[in-house]
């Protein structure tokens, strides 16, 4: 039985808004047929896809359940002329997601997003935005910016099932993964994977955020020294960092979870995180009582204990 | 308001793919909604009422990186060309998903309803392209499939994702050359998740990760019923940035000599093992590693009644 809206009786629709389709290239294939994308299309049908994600953000309506679907392939953030430009995620309540065409490989999604410029790929400056199923691939032209930043207005930002890979970029501590610019609340980052290979900035920065959760992520360092994988700082409060894994490879993570500048008592709860052998101090630079630890372990190598409980925060 | 969207999907639902769905029947006819339909490799396969006869034909019809999905209907599928000659499935089109039809709840990972095998001494599937996903399929080997892996994946199989699948080799003649999923090159970003492996003798490894990079194996169950299995998972030269976690190695009345074997491994810190659990007669949860190649955290050997309740595993040599 079909409801008058066309959905199945008994099933709860996913969205009430429009779905805007974006193609990764001028020519793309849907349902076995080739089409041409254009920012002059309305984007409301997969056979009339938009050319750039940026255009989709200009068409969505705030808080109406609109969804931007990025077709599989490598998308470049750009305006209609093709000039590389950060995506302004400034419309509240919008979901931007890659299309898995299946369950989707947790390590790297088929939809890739990048910007060929010295700028962020995405700036989130509105509330209730969801970003999912996207590989953020750093471009060599991005020499000193985060891949995604989110402002104090980005309350309830939800990023999940995404990958960040900065290994094609020139190492720079100014290159971060997801970077908090202000006191956003209720930010949830989960099921993400971060690939790093040298002295980059933190892959997740939660400075000043409140009531936020980072969970079930993998931070994979290939080589070199990464000062911090996750940073909290002044104003970070009610922050939960749990069930993440920090792999050091042949490199070193100086402080996988770094609390330099933290000032809130019991501001960070870290639990069930696992840290590679080459973690210098797993949870570091917190003053007494700023970080609460439970069941965090560091790996050991042959002849070791088989896993050592972490208790140090300074 | 149009209640079905103008491109035919249900209102309120975000589509799951942008590609075509190719339906494949397990036999010469298949029943859909109570009606029988003939399967043929001459069909277009784009409707369950016009299914293809063999998965091999579906792979030939797919377009690379266009979201195409091959849906194997319930039953036992045999890899073959149109005339019925047993032939390995060449999974050589990038970005294709091949899956069995999952049940409403997502399917039983211990044994899925869509079975796939090959009646020949050859691999059932050869993966030689990137971004391929394989799910909800029971790879149940038959006796004529001797001395070869069930599925192998080459250096080009980057981002291969296999989940919710079964590999059962117990009907095959025991041979260490029979593996489950076998790496034949340096593929990167492969993930094996929620798979079940059943062995009953001295077979090869059920997952081989030699030379792979950035690989994840998690939430799998290795059931070994009798005899001695040398290794359930093997790593080797150049295996790097591998995470193996939350797997269970059950050896029942048999013995698993090594849950995760690192013989030949060369990369310091190349493999991280956490929250894996071994049976009582698993000789070593991790072995064959030299110092520093494998990192361990909270892996446990099982204990039997009145035993210790589980012993933290610390050795890797």
Residues from chain A that touch B135, judged by Cβ atoms under 8 A, are 102-103
Q: How far is A33 from chain B (nearest CA, A)?
A: 9
Model pLDDT, residue B14:
72
Name residues 99-138 of chain A within 8 A of B (Cβ). Answer: 99-108, 110
Q: What does pTM read for this prediction?
A: 0.94
Which of A238-242, A309-313, B216-220, B236-240 shows the lowest per-residue confidence on average (mean pLDDT)? A309-313
Q: Do B17 and A102 touch (CB under 8 A)?
A: yes
Residue A99 has pLDDT above 80, yes or no: yes
| H or E stretch covering A59 | helix A53-59
Model pLDDT, residue B6:
58
Which residue from B3, B19, B290 is facing A6, i.e. has the nearest CB? B3
Q: Which residues pair with A179 in a beta bridge?
A: A149, A205
Average pLDDT over residues B43-68: 96
Dihedral through CA A81, CA A83, CA A88, CA A89, nearest 10? 80
Residues from chain A that touch B216, judged by Cβ atoms under 8 A, are 106-107, 218
Residue with tokens 């192998």, as numbered in its chain: B152
Residue A79 has pLDDT above 60, yes or no: yes
Q: Do A107 and B133 touch (CB under 8 A)?
A: no
pLDDT tens for each residue of B57-109:
999 999 999 999 999 999 999 999 999 999 999 999 999 999 998 876 677 88
| Terminal Cα distance for chain A, rounded | 61
Q: Which residues pair with A114 in a beta bridge?
A: A76
Model pLDDT, residue A72:
94
Percent of chain B past pLDDT 90, that is, above it, reads 78
Q: Which residues pair with A130 in a beta bridge?
A: A95, A158
Average pLDDT over residues A119-124: 97
Best CA proximity match to B132, nearest among B184, B189, B94, B102: B94
Residue A181 has pLDDT above 80, yes or no: yes
Compare all CA atoms of chain B with the CA of A29 and give the residue at the minimum distance: B66
Residue B46 has pLDDT above 90, yes or no: yes
Residue A272 has pLDDT above 90, yes or no: yes
| H or E stretch covering A54 | helix A53-59
- ipTM, two decimals, is 0.91
Using the Cβ of A47 and the Cβ atoms of chain B, whether some distance falls under 8 Å is answered with yes
Which of A46-50, A229-233, B231-235 shows the lowest per-residue confidence on average (mean pLDDT)? A46-50
Q: How far is B83 from chain A (nearest CA, A)?
A: 26
Residue A15 has pLDDT above 80, yes or no: no
Q: How far is A216 from chain B (nearest CA, A)?
A: 13
Percent of chain A past pLDDT 90, that is, above it, reads 87
Model pLDDT, residue B283:
86
Name residues 150-189 of chain B within 8 A of A (Cβ). Answer: 159-161, 163, 189
Beta strands at B300-301 and A252-258: parallel, antiparallel or unpaired: unpaired
Which residue from B16, B20, B241 is facing A32, i.e. has the nearest CB? B20
Q: How far is A91 from chain B (nearest CA, A)?
A: 19
Mean pLDDT computed over every residue of chain B: 92
Q: How confident is the model at residue B110 (pLDDT cuts 50, 70, 90)?
A: confident
Average pLDDT over residues B234-260: 95
Which one is predicted more confidently, B309 or B168?
B168
Q: How confident is the model at residue B310 (pLDDT cuts 50, 70, 90)?
A: confident
Residue with tokens 């091999």, as numbered in its chain: B56
Average pLDDT over residues A155-161: 98
CB B178 within 8 A of CB B148: yes
Q: How confident is the model at residue B139 (pLDDT cuts 50, 70, 90)?
A: very high
Q: How far apart are CA B133 and CA B161, in angstroms?
A: 5
For the four alpha carbons of B23, B29, B31 and B35, in that order, the dihedral sign comes to: positive
Q: Report the residue of B160, B296, B308 to disrupt the A interface, i.e. the one with the largest count of A CBs within 10 Å.
A: B296
Residue A90 has pLDDT above 50, yes or no: yes
Using the Cβ of B280 and the Cβ atoms of chain A, whether some distance falls under 8 Å is answered with no
Q: How far apart are CA A88 and CA A313, in angstroms?
A: 37
For A239, the 3-state DSSP assignment is strand
Using the Cβ of A8 and the Cβ atoms of chain B, whether some distance falls under 8 Å is answered with yes
Using the Cβ of A27 and the Cβ atoms of chain B, whether some distance falls under 8 Å is answered with no
Average pLDDT over residues B237-242: 94
For A58, the 3-state DSSP assignment is helix
Burial class (CB in 10 A: 0-12, 13-18, 19+), A259: buried
Average pLDDT over residues A71-82: 95
| H or E stretch covering A53 | helix A53-59
Q: Do A101 and B67 touch (CB under 8 A)?
A: yes
Q: Which residues pair with B196 in a beta bridge?
A: B166, B221
Residue A167 has pLDDT above 90, yes or no: yes
CB B209 within 8 A of CB B188: no
Count of CB pairs separated by less than 8 Å, A with B:
208
Distances, alpha carbon A26 to alpha carbons A80, A230, A283, B63, in Å: 11, 37, 47, 17
Residue B2 has pLDDT above 80, yes or no: no
SS (H, E, C) chain B: CCCECCCCCECCCCCCCCCCEEEECCCCEEEECCEEEECCCCCCCCCCCCCECCHHHHHHHCCCCCCCEEEECCEEEECECCCCCECCEEECCCCCEEEECCCCCCCCCCCCCEEEECCCCCCCEEECCCCCEEECCEEECCCCCCCCCCEEECCCCCCCEEECCEEECCCCCCCCCCCCEEECCCCECCEEECCEEEECCCCCCCEECCCCECCEEECCEEEECCCEEEEEEECCCCCECEEEECCEEECCCCEEEEEEECCCCCCCCCEEEECCEECCCEEEEEECCCCCCEEEECCEECCCCCCCCCEECCCCC
Q: How far is B314 from chain A (nearest CA, A)?
A: 4
Residue A121 has pLDDT above 70, yes or no: yes
Mean pLDDT computed over every residue of chain A: 94
Distances, alpha carbon A124 to alpha carbons A191, B37, B113, B116, in Å: 19, 51, 44, 46
């Amino acid at each position: 039985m079909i409801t008058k809206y066309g959905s199945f009786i008994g099933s709860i629709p996913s969205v009430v808004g429009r779905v805007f389709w974006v193609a990764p290239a001028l020519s793309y294939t849907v349902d076995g047929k080739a089409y041409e994308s254009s920012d002059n299309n309305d984007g409301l049908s997969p056979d009339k896809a938009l050319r750039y994600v940026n255009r989709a953000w200009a068409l969505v309506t705030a808080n109406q359940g609109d969804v931007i679907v990025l077709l599989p392939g490598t998308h470049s953030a750009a305006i209609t002329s093709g000039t590389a430009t950060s995506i302004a995620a400034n419309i509240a309540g919008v979901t931007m997601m890659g299309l898995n065409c299946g369950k989707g490989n947790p390590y790297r999604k088929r939809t890739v997003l990048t910007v060929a410029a010295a700028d962020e790929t995405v700036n989130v400056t509105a509330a209730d935005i969801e970003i999912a199923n996207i590989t953020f691939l750093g471009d060599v032209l991005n020499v000193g910016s985060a891949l995604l930043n989110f402002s104090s207005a980005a309350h309830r930002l939800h990023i999940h099932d995404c990958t960040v890979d900065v290994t094609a970029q020139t190492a720079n501590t100014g290159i971060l993964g997801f970077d908090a610019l202000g006191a956003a609340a209720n930010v949830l980052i989960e099921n993400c994977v971060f690939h790093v290979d040298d002295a980059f900035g933190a892959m997740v920065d939660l400075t000043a955020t409140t009531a936020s959760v980072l969970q079930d992520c993998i931070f994979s360092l290939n080589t070199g020294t990464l000062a911090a994988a996750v940073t909290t700082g002044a104003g970070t409060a009610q922050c939960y960092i749990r069930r993440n894994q920090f792999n050091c490879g042949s490199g070193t993570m100086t402080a996988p979870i770094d609390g330099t500048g933290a000032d809130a008592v019991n501001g960070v709860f870290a639990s069930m995180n696992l840290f590679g052998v080459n973690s210098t101090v797993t949870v570091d630079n917190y003053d007494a009582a700023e970080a609460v630890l439970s069941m965090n372990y560091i790996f050991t190598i042959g002849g070791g204990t088989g896993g050592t409980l972490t208790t140090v925060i300074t | 308001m149009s209640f079905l969207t103008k491109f035919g999907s249900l209102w309120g639902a975000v589509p799951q793919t942008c590609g075509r769905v190719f339906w494949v029947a397990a036999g010469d006819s298949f029943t859909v909604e109570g009606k029988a339909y003939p399967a043929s490799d001459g069909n277009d396969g784009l409707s369950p009422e016009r299914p293809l006869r063999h998965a091999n034909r579906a792979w030939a019809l797919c377009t690379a990186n266009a979201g195409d999905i091959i849906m194997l209907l319930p039953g036992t599928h045999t890899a073959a060309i149109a005339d019925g000659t047993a032939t390995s499935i060449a999974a050589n089109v990038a970005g294709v998903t091949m899956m069995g039809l999952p049940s409403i709840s997502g399917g039983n990972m211990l044994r899925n309803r869509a079975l796939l095998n090959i009646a020949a001494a050859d691999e059932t599937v050869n993966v030689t392209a990137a971004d391929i996903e394989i799910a909800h399929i029971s790879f149940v080997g038959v006796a004529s499939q001797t001395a070869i892996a069930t599925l192998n994946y080459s250096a080009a199989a980057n981002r291969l994702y296999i989940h919710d699948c079964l590999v059962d080799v117990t009907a095959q003649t025991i041979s260490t050359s029979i593996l489950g999923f076998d790496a034949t090159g340096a593929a990167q970003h492969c993930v094996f998740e929620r798979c079940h492996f059943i062995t009953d003798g001295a077979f090869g490894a059920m997952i081989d990760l030699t030379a792979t990079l950035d690989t994840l194996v998690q939430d799998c169950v290795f059931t070994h019923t009798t005899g001695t299995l040398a290794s359930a998972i093997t790593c080797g030269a150049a295996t790097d940035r591998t995470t193996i976690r939350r797997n269970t190695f059950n050896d029942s009345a048999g013995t698993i000599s090594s849950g995760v074997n690192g013989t030949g491994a060369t990369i310091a810190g190349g493999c991280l093992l956490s929250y894996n659990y071994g049976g009582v007669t698993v000789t070593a949860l991790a072995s064959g590693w030299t110092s520093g190649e494998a990192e361990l955290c909270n892996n446990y050997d099982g204990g039997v009644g009145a035993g210790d309740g589980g012993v933290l595993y610390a050795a890797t040599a």
